[in-house]
Structure 1
């Protein structure tokens, strides 16, 4: 009699363990999904910051080049004017 009861208890325990495993798998899937989403967002943010910094550096360099060229032309013009006087 106890043999049949033990077998029934073991089957019930196995069934509960299987259900718990399936629930744990779902939880793990959700956690992994969230982690991947956060990693994706962080990566996108990092790329945005790098692109923004590159654009700012480019703009700064262009301003410096423009100022240098303008100053060179102005000095050359002033020098030519002095020669012509």
Structure 2
């Protein structure tokens, strides 16, 4: 009789342990899924921000270079014209 009760108790404990293990695995899987989802979203946001910053930096650099070249060419033309003007006098 005690052997049968012991077997029933052991079987019951095994089922409870298996159920608890399955619940723990499910909880871990859900946690990992949430972490991956948030990490993916954060990564996408970081990438979008980095691309935006790179584009803004590139646009700023192009503007600065364009202004510098324009000023250099304008100064060169102005000096050339002034030089031609003084030679003609």
Task: Flag whether TM exceeds 0.5 (same fold).
Answer: yes
1:53 maps to 53
1:1-40 aligned at under 5 Å gives the runs 1-40=1-40
**Aligned equivalents of 2:41, 2:3: Cα separation in 1:** 57
CA RMSD of aligned residues (A): 1.1
What whole-Å deviation, never above 9, does each CA across 1:7-52 have from its counterpart, x for those lacking one? 1111011111111111111111100000111111111122112211
2:81 maps to 81
**What is the CA-CA distance between 1:69 and the residue it aligns to?**
0.8
In the comparison of the two structures, how many residue pairs are matched? 85
Instruction: Return 6-15 or 43-52, whichever deviates more.
Output: 43-52
2:72 maps to 72
What whole-Å deviation, never above 9, does each CA across 1:31-81 have from its counterpart, x for those lacking one? 000011111111112211221121111111101110011101111221122
Structure 2: segments with no counterpart, 5+ residues: none
Give the TM-score of the pair, scaled to structure 1: 0.90
**Aligned equivalents of 2:19, 2:39: Cα separation in 1:** 30
